[in-house]
Homo-oligomer: A and B are copies of this chain.
Amino acid sequence: MGGDHAPQVTIEGAIEAADNGLDVLLVGHEPTLKTELSKHPNAPRLEIVHAEDVIEMHEHPAHAIRQKKNSSINVAARLLKEAKADALFSAGNSGAVMAAALFTLGRIEGVHRPAIGAVIPLLDGRVFLVDAGANADCDARNLLQFAQLGSAYANHVLGIARPRVGLVSNGEEETKGSALVQAALPLLKDSGLEFVGNVEGKDVTRGACDVAVCDGFTGNVMLKLAEGVQELILGLVREAIVSRPHYKLAGAVLRPALRRAARRLDYTEYGGAPLVGVNAPVFIGHGRSNAKAIYNGLRTAAEAASRDLIPTLAAAIRS
């Protein structure tokens, strides 16, 4: 039921996942989902788990999760709790997904604050940004755990042998940084992780690290700014193209190439964002996810579950 184009797009993504061999449970309002499924007569049969309510995007996450016991996200979280499902993906209210995960599934032992991770594609490779928005205020110990969880995720799910961890700061020098960054620096140095020091915004996009660690306020501002700058630059390119007749023709030829470039930065295209530190594989997608993004999210969630993500993250925190 979650996402700007639900249930139409959500179901299209789920059908693609089922076509590719995934075992998908659709959690939501059964009559609505049945009507939508009936538009796909040739699709493989998808199991529906009925949920009476929906938490809307504007609702206060924690309140809504407590009040709407039978919202689709609560019902889905209970399926994991009862071992009737192995992983969860939602493109709905991400705060509500985090709240449902915390209330119903809990945290991995030793984790103080679960975080949102975001896989951001770069020119060459990708970077895992954590926390991308769950915790607006953090202490140094939280950042250390984000680094441990992020490093384990990058290794286990993204296949990076010894992930380089960077600490997002306003300068590479060790003297730079907020009080939080300065307090986190010695913890990261002593962490046993492959810590590469402070990284600036442009180091992150240049691939200076595999895991970029920051508080959720900074991470969320970064993610949304990256989206905004992408939009702005492509707008500037478009404006430049229409400024001269002979550019227009060249622009028409290049349109598919520009569109491809534009989509490369959209992190939701690449399988959703994991809630690292939650005691089950839970992934969130962008509200404006298309069917492909939904499919990628389901695929990544299934892969994470089949590869024992949670025991791996738990071991990283214990160490």
**Which of A67-75, A150-158, A257-265 forms part of the interface with chain B?**
A257-265
Residues facing B in A210-236 (CB within 8 A) are 214-218, 220-236
Pairwise interchain contact B254-A228, C-beta atoms closer than 8 A: no
Give 1 or 0 for each of A258-290: 1 = CB within 8 Å of chain B CB: 101110110000000000000000000000000
Q: Does A243 contact B (CB under 8 A)?
A: yes
Q: Is B218 touching A203 in the complex (CB atoms < 8 A)?
A: no
Which one of A106-114, A175-183, A294-302 is at the interface? A175-183
Q: Is the CB of B204 within 8 A of A225?
A: yes
Q: Give the distance in Å from the alpha carbon of A137 to the alpha carbon of B178 in the complex.
A: 6
Choose the segment among A6-14, A185-193, A244-252 that binds chain B (4+ C-beta atoms closer than 8 Å): A244-252
A65 to chain B, nearest CB (A): 15
A161 on interface, CB distance cutoff 8 Å: no
Chain B neighbourhood of A217, CB < 8 A: 169-170, 177-178, 181, 218
Does A83 belong to the interface (CB within 8 Å)? no
Min Cβ gap A57→B in Å is 11
Quick check: B236 and A123 within 8 Å, CB to CB?
A: yes
Contact B178 A201, beta carbon cutoff 8 Å: no
CB < 8 Å neighbour of A136 from B177, B222, B257:
B177
Cα distance A178–B215 when bound, in Å? 10
Apart from A200-B228, A250-B253, 13 more pairs, CB < 8 Å = A60-B175, A169-B221, A170-B220, A171-B220, A204-B225, A205-B228, A205-B231, A221-B222, A229-B229, A236-B264, A240-B257, A240-B261, A249-B250
Q: 18 A-B residue contacts at CB 8 Å? A: A136-B176, A136-B178, A169-B217, A178-B217, A181-B217, A200-B221, A206-B231, A218-B218, A225-B229, A229-B230, A229-B265, A237-B257, A237-B258, A240-B258, A240-B261, A246-B253, A250-B253, A250-B254
